[in-house]
């Protein structure tokens, strides 16, 4: 889109080790969600821009792939130290463009660094296997080798963490990388690129192309891009997977969620409410691992839980993420805020009880910001849109169940299967839930069960398209090709042709 704004800050591409606007033809507006003011203009990359970034990455690939893994790890070690050095500055950038509170932004960077730390152990991950004498004087060895140029497409809600779920493992494995961040908060990827260069990463190994769907489509179709990693909504994840695989690429595409938290009658309700408040309203609900549905078992549990939630919501501190004591910031854009607010009307029209209406919150002095208070629905049923669809905002729906079996069935019947949680004091109930629930990530008295970096992240059903979860061991498998070599060195033994299937005999 074109714009007439007077903002002067330009956010450009980062290609071949330097900032490059490539004479940007069009730019999009970047906002401070707390004020509603335009703070910058981001280049909207063209197919030509993507071609240049991929060309540079392809040129850099051979030398980077030949770099010993421990040398690649050393660069990532230095990058980790530089990010830690600049964590306050990077967190402030996230808050300024996304809106989340500073402590949440800092936590995002830390969780991203955990993947960097995992990637620093890449020599161990790439060791391969060796078998001596699989037949007479024949040995076998397995290798993991890099793919080539790979691309990452990240969402607005985690401008630091999600890119760091992708590129550290990809780079450690010997690939070169083209990053396409969200155009809503694009600055952080360029800052990370600068720190990689400062850490000693060779030019062209990591590149950033800003943009919208035009840049995405160019990456999905580019003949020299070997693999694509994506995190975003389910419709787009499905599109990315379908389009990229049609062009012969390896794809991991993580989609949307409707994460349920089951609360059993024996649960510690104070603990459950504290967990729910952070999981449902932290980062204004703009997390793919947010709890958006709570399923209390039994009406007594539901009534007690509702009472506590209403009290907690009255105390929820909403405001600019830079202010002390604020617990929830604004939503990322006006359009998204209005979309979430519309879901409140949709729920009321469907017959759900809007117990707490976030639209009633007032924010004196910040009328231009994209604020919405936390909302709570009760008596939500599975046929309602507010239950079926991902709202991606500070809206919690309560669906009452009369038994554990009914609660479990609710979770399993939903089309999404990203994450889920159960709060209970009974080990057998927890074990049954863990065994039978159809979701990729499960929390037992843990509301947001995001795996540590040395495990892998990903959902089931329509929350994941592709065969690999992201980061951890699955990330190493995704960013490498497996090769097995069978070797025999000649000796003085006379060898004759064999026409039967070779065996180990």
Structural domains of the chain, count: 2
DSSP 242-284: HHHHHTT-EEEEE----EEEEE-TTS-HHHHHHHHHHHHHGGG
Let me know if residue 417 belongs to a domain: yes
Instruction: Quick: pLDDT tens for 18-35.
Output: 998 767 889 999 999 999
Let me know if residue 24 belongs to a domain: yes
Nearest CA among 290, 289, 294 for reference residue 267: 294
Is the pLDDT at 438 greater than 90, yes or no? yes
Q: Are residues 211 and 103 in the same domain?
A: yes
Share in percent of the chain as helix, strand, coil (round to 5): 40, 25, 35
Phi, psi of 348 (to 5 degrees): -65, -45
Strand partners, 19: 14
Is the pLDDT at 2 greater than 80, yes or no? no
Q: Are residues 281 and 179 in the same domain?
A: no
Q: Are residues 341 and 212 in the same domain?
A: no
C-alpha 301/C-alpha 64 separation (Å) is: 58
- Count of CB atoms within 10 A of residue 180's CB? 28
Is the pLDDT at 134 greater than 60, yes or no? yes
Instruction: Quick: pLDDT tens for 263-307.
Output: 999 999 999 999 999 999 999 999 999 999 999 999 999 999 999
Let me know if residue 1 belongs to a domain: no
Let me know if residue 492 belongs to a domain: no
C-alpha 275/C-alpha 445 separation (Å) is: 9
Is the pLDDT at 503 greater than 80, yes or no? no
pTM of this prediction? 0.94
Terminal-to-terminal C-alpha distance of the chain: 68
Let me know if residue 455 belongs to a domain: no
**Across 420-435, average pLDDT:** 97
C-alpha 42/C-alpha 29 separation (Å) is: 6
C-alpha 25/C-alpha 2 separation (Å) is: 9
Is the pLDDT at 472 greater than 80, yes or no? yes
Q: Are residues 42 and 190 in the same domain?
A: yes
Q: Are residues 244 and 265 in the same domain?
A: no
C-alpha 98/C-alpha 92 separation (Å) is: 10
Instruction: Quick: pLDDT tens for 357-373.
Output: 999 877 788 889 999 99
When pLDDT is cut at 50, 70 and 90, the band that residue 153 belongs to is very high
When pLDDT is cut at 50, 70 and 90, the band that residue 490 belongs to is confident
Q: Are residues 233 and 278 in the same domain?
A: no
Least confident of 251-260, 290-299, 494-503: 494-503
From the CA atom positions of the chain, what is the Rg in Å?
A: 25
Q: Are residues 246 and 366 in the same domain?
A: no
Residues annotated as catalytic are: 288
**Across 306-310, average pLDDT:** 98
Is the pLDDT at 326 greater than 50, yes or no? yes
Let me know if residue 210 belongs to a domain: yes
Is the pLDDT at 101 greater than 90, yes or no? yes
- In CATH, what number is assigned to the domain containing residue 205? 3.40.605.10
- Count of CB atoms within 10 A of residue 37's CB? 13
**Across 156-182, average pLDDT:** 97
Is the pLDDT at 3 greater than 50, yes or no? no
Let me know if residue 495 belongs to a domain: no
- In CATH, what number is assigned to the domain containing residue 303? 3.40.309.10
Identify the domain containing residue 114 by its residue range: 10-255+463-484
When pLDDT is cut at 50, 70 and 90, the band that residue 492 belongs to is confident
Let me know if residue 140 belongs to a domain: yes
Tell me the percentage of the chain whose pLDDT exceeds 70: 98
- Looking at residue 504, its pLDDT comes to 63
- Looking at residue 505, its pLDDT comes to 57
- Looking at residue 1, its pLDDT comes to 41
Q: Are residues 322 and 369 in the same domain?
A: yes
Helix orientation angle between 269-281 and 299-315, rounded to the nearest 10 degrees: 50
Computed over every residue of the chain, the mean pLDDT equals: 94
Nearest CA among 172, 171, 195, 193 for reference residue 181: 193
Least confident of 143-147, 233-237, 395-399, 464-468: 464-468
Phi, psi of 335 (to 5 degrees): -60, -40
**14 contacts 54 by C-beta, under 8 angstroms:** no
Q: Are residues 336 and 410 in the same domain?
A: yes
Q: Are residues 251 and 263 in the same domain?
A: no
Is the pLDDT at 191 greater than 90, yes or no? yes
Q: Are residues 169 and 280 in the same domain?
A: no
Nearest CA among 113, 256, 93, 114 for reference residue 189: 93
Q: Are residues 249 and 161 in the same domain?
A: yes
- Nearest 5°: CA angle at 50, between 210 and 216? 65
């Amino acid at each position: 889109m074109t714009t007439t704004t007077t903002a002067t800050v330009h956010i450009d591409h980062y290609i071949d080790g330097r900032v490059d606007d490539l004479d940007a033809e069009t730019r999009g507006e970047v906002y401070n969600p707390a004020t509603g003011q335009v703070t910058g203009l981001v280049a909207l990359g063209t197919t030509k821009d993507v071609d240049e970034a991929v060309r540079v990455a392809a040129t850099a690939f051979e030398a980077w792939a030949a770099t010993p893994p421990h040398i690649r790890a050393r660069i990532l070690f230095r990058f980790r130290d530089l990010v830690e050095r600049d964590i306050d500055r990077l967190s402030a950038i996230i808050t300024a463009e996304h809106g989340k509170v500073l402590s949440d932004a800092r936590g995002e960077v830390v969780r991203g660094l955990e993947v960097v730390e995992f990637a620093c152990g890449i020599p161990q991950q790439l060791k391969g296997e060796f078998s001596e004498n699989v037949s007479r004087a024949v040995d076998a060895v397995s290798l993991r080798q890099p793919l080539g140029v790979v691309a990452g497409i990240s969402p607005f809600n985690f401008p630091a963490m999600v890119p760091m779920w992708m590129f550290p493992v990809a780079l450690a494995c010997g690939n070169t990388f083209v990053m396409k961040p969200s155009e809503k908060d694009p600055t952080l990827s360029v800052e990370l690129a600068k720190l990689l260069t400062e850490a000693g990463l060779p030019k062209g190994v990591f590149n950033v192309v800003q943009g919208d769907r035009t840049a995405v489509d160019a990456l999905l179709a580019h003949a020299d891009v070997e693999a694509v990693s994506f995190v975003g909504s389910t419709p787009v994840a499905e599109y990315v997977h379908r389009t990229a695989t049609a062009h012969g690429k390896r794809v991991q595409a993580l989609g949307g969620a409707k994460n349920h938290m089951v609360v059993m009658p024996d649960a510690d309700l104070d603990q459950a409410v504290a967990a729910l408040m952070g999981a449902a309203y932290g980062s204004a609900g703009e997390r793919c691992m947010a709890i958006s549905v709570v399923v209390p078992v039994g009406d007594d549990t539901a009534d007690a839980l509702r009472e506590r939630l209403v009290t907690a919501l009255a105390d929820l501190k909403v405001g600019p993420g830079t202010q002390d004591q604020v617990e929830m910031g604004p939503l990322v854009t006006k359009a998204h805020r209005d979309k979430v607010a519309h879901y409140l009307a949709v729920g009321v029209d469907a017959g759900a009880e809007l117990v707490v209406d976030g639209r009633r919150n007032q924010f004196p002095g910040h009328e231009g910001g994209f604020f919405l208070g936390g909302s709570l629905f009760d008596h939500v049923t599975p046929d309602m849109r507010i239950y079926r669809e991902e709202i991606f905002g500070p809206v919690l729906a309560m669906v009452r169940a009369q038994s554990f079996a009914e609660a479990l069935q609710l979770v399993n019947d939903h089309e999404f299967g990203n994450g889920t949680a159960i709060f209970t004091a009974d080990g057998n109930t927890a074990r049954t839930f863990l065994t039978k629930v159809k979701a990729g990530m499960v929390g037992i008295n843990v509301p947001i069960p995001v795996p540590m970096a040395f495990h892998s992240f990903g959902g089931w059903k329509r929350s994941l398209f592709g065969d690999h979860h992201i980061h951890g061991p699955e990330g190493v498998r995704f960013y490498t090709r497996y090769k097995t070599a069978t070797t025999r060195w000649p000796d003085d033994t006379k060898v004759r042709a064999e026409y039967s299937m070779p065996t180990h005999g």
